[in-house]
Amino acid sequence: MLGTFASGAMNFFGAHSANKANKKLAREQMAFQRESNQQQMDFQERMSNTAYQRAMQDMKDAGLNPILALIKEELALLLVLMLEELLLR
């Protein structure tokens, strides 16, 4: 009977120790994931905030008129609206 009690107590303390270790690992993983997500969101924001500047620079580098970088968005929207008009008739 004493052996059973001792075995149960050891199992309890072993499980308690394992749970503490698992909680610590989970917290570390969540902190890493939070940091990684923030870095990705920051990168996406930087790319979004500089899209026109990069497009204009690409056009300059290709020897094209950089104003086309500003016009292309409006032209694309105009084409979509014209196609919708034709399809809805």
| pTM listed for this prediction | 0.50
pLDDT in tens, 32-49: 999 999 999 999 999 888
3-class SS shares of the chain: helix, strand, coil, % to 5:
90, 0, 10
- Residues contacting residue 55 through CB under 8 Å, at least 6 positions apart: 69, 72
The domain in which residue 64 lies consists of 2-88
C-alpha–C-alpha distance, residues 38 and 44, integer Å: 10
C-alpha–C-alpha distance, residues 24 and 32, integer Å: 12
| Average pLDDT along the chain, 89 residues, taken 10 residues at a time | 66 79 94 97 92 84 79 77 83
